[in-house]
Homo-oligomer: A and B are copies of this chain.
């Protein structure tokens, strides 16, 4: 998030409100609704850390705005971020834990859990594909949606593997 904002600012300085809109577009608005307040919070924190510098700009027809631009330190941080190849790790771990917890406590049926989850993912997948059909303009957010679709498909396949393991040898 910090880095995301810095990256956008290093492309072009903005004030908070505008940056919020840019972030919504870049991150796929609907996917992760972004609170405006957080933009301001993060901007002030970034300024305190010396990665951006704000300048107040008077406006005639509107209330004044404060435009933020990245500093040298900020540009360096962005460079590091771009060079970083780390990749967010598995959400499967979350669900896997649920599975073992459910199996252990007998508070819930593991296979039922898998089934519910798969139905939910299928629903989600349908949503995404519907959205994909809508944005046939080959526009900006298309790639994001395709990525989400591919991932969800992989996750669904994983759930099927889970179910197999769980039904074949009952109890661990």
Alpha-carbon separation in the docked complex, A157 to B27 (Å)? 20
The tally of residues in A whose CB lies under 8 Å from a CB in B reads: 61
Binding site for B on A (CB under 8 A): 4, 7-8, 10-12, 26-28, 31-32, 78-79, 81-83, 85, 87-98, 100-102, 104-105, 107-108, 113, 116-117, 120-121, 124, 140, 142-144, 146-148, 150-155, 157-158, 161-162, 165, 172
Q: Is the CB of B10 within 8 A of A105?
A: yes
Q: Is the CB of B150 within 8 A of A154?
A: yes
Q: Is the CB of A147 within 8 A of B90?
A: yes
Q: Is the CB of B144 within 8 A of A90?
A: yes
Q: Kindly identify which residue among B32, B108, B146 contacts A89, using a CB–CB cutoff of 8 Å.
A: B32
